[in-house]
A = this chain, B = another copy of it.
Amino acid sequence: MADVGRIAGVSAMTVSRALKGKSYIAKDTLERILAAVDQLGYVLDQSAGSLSSRRSGFIAAIVPSIDNSNFADTARGITDTLAQTSMQLLLGYTNYSVEREEELIESMLRRRPEGIILTGGKHTSKARVLLANAGIPVIETWDVPENPVDAVVGFSNTDAMEALVDSLVAQGYSRFGFITGSEASDTRGHQRHIGFDRALSRHGLTSNRVVAIEAVPIRMSHGGEAIRALLERYPDTDVAICVSDLPAFGAIMECKRMGLVVPRDIAIAGFGDYEIASISEPGITTVNVDSYGIGAQAAGQMIAMLENRGTAATITTSYHMLHRGST
């Protein structure tokens, strides 16, 4: 930067101001500086800048998996919204492990992010301490935790699943199966299971037709295994709800291979409204949860909090049922 200044015949400070674009600089001074920047191929060193200004320009975000279009959409929502500011996203994924989350939080805090966006409300106690000490806005997403760290942008997975069950009961189904993954790891899956149970008991139905695949995350292929297991144990099941559209799709395809017709022989529903749910034939009945909007709103709330415009609000995001051919 000093080099640039030398060539342009100004001090480093003026170069700094010119490159920030926030202060008034004489037009010809600015031109000389930009010419020098071009000539040298100079690129600002933001790590030095952050040290001095005490603003890193980072927002950290941690999702369970990027290999899942719901969370990828959330990450996109965050990035796109952050693009309006000069903030940069520092993204990490936990593979659904709170221990890994703790490590990630620590390693990200070393970069002094100005805010941090997490998925869900389950964290190790050390993670909570780290977050508290960091003194930065924390936003938990994809859930409405009972004891939020700070702000929240999400929806009740329990309620959403209850609504799905209600609508299927209304359709006339009564022998419900549930296909899920490792609930110890996937807390949102666990919440959905709770919603499933609750809704069923409200309707006076039983709910022990459950297949839990102990794999993290649950994939399309697991849906196939699971539906076989479910139908073997409970052959009279008339509808199987899957914890996400991915296993739901796998289940539907497996049914096809088994010679069963969905939904005539067995109805199948998913959760999340992944693209496949609308494209698959039959289409998959599911719950749309606005994955992109969760990210966009979380980033928006973060920006507000950083500008002292917002406080630790809880923003509830919308979801809606999508009835398609699979039920």
Interface residues of chain A, those whose CB is within 8 Å of chain B, are 41, 43-48, 50-51, 56, 66-67, 69, 72-73, 75-76, 79, 88-93, 106-107, 109-112, 129-130, 132-134, 219-221, 224, 249-250, 253, 256-257, 275-276, 278-281
Shortest distance from the beta carbon of A204 to any chain B beta carbon, whole Å: 36
Is there an interface contact between A256 and B279, defined as CB atoms closer than 8 Å? no
List 10 interface pairs A-B (beta carbons < 8 Å), by A numbering.
A41-B129, A43-B109, A45-B110, A47-B111, A47-B112, A51-B51, A67-B69, A67-B76, A79-B92, A250-B279
Shortest distance from the beta carbon of A257 to any chain B beta carbon, whole Å: 6
Is there an interface contact between A51 and B43, defined as CB atoms closer than 8 Å? no
Q: Which residues of B contact A256 (CB under 8 A)?
A: 281
Assembly of this chain: how many copies? 2
Rounded to whole angstroms, the CA-CA distance of A72 and B95 in the bound complex is 13
Q: Which residues of B contact A66 (CB under 8 A)?
A: 66, 72, 75-76
Q: Which residues of B contact A45 (CB under 8 A)?
A: 110, 112
Contacts beyond the supplied A47-B47, A47-B50: 16 A-B pairs with Cβ under 8 Å: A41-B130, A43-B106, A43-B109, A45-B110, A46-B111, A67-B76, A69-B69, A72-B72, A79-B92, A88-B107, A90-B90, A91-B91, A221-B279, A253-B279, A256-B281, A276-B276
Rounded to whole angstroms, the CA-CA distance of A217 and B260 in the bound complex is 35
Is there an interface contact between B275 and A257, defined as CB atoms closer than 8 Å? no
Rounded to whole angstroms, the CA-CA distance of A76 and B94 in the bound complex is 11
Pick the residue among B43, B46, B51, B253 that contacts A134 (CB under 8 A): B43
CB-based closest 6 A-B pairs = A41-B133, A46-B110, A220-B279, A253-B281, A67-B72, A256-B281
Pick the residue among B44, B90, B257 that contacts A281 (CB under 8 A): B257
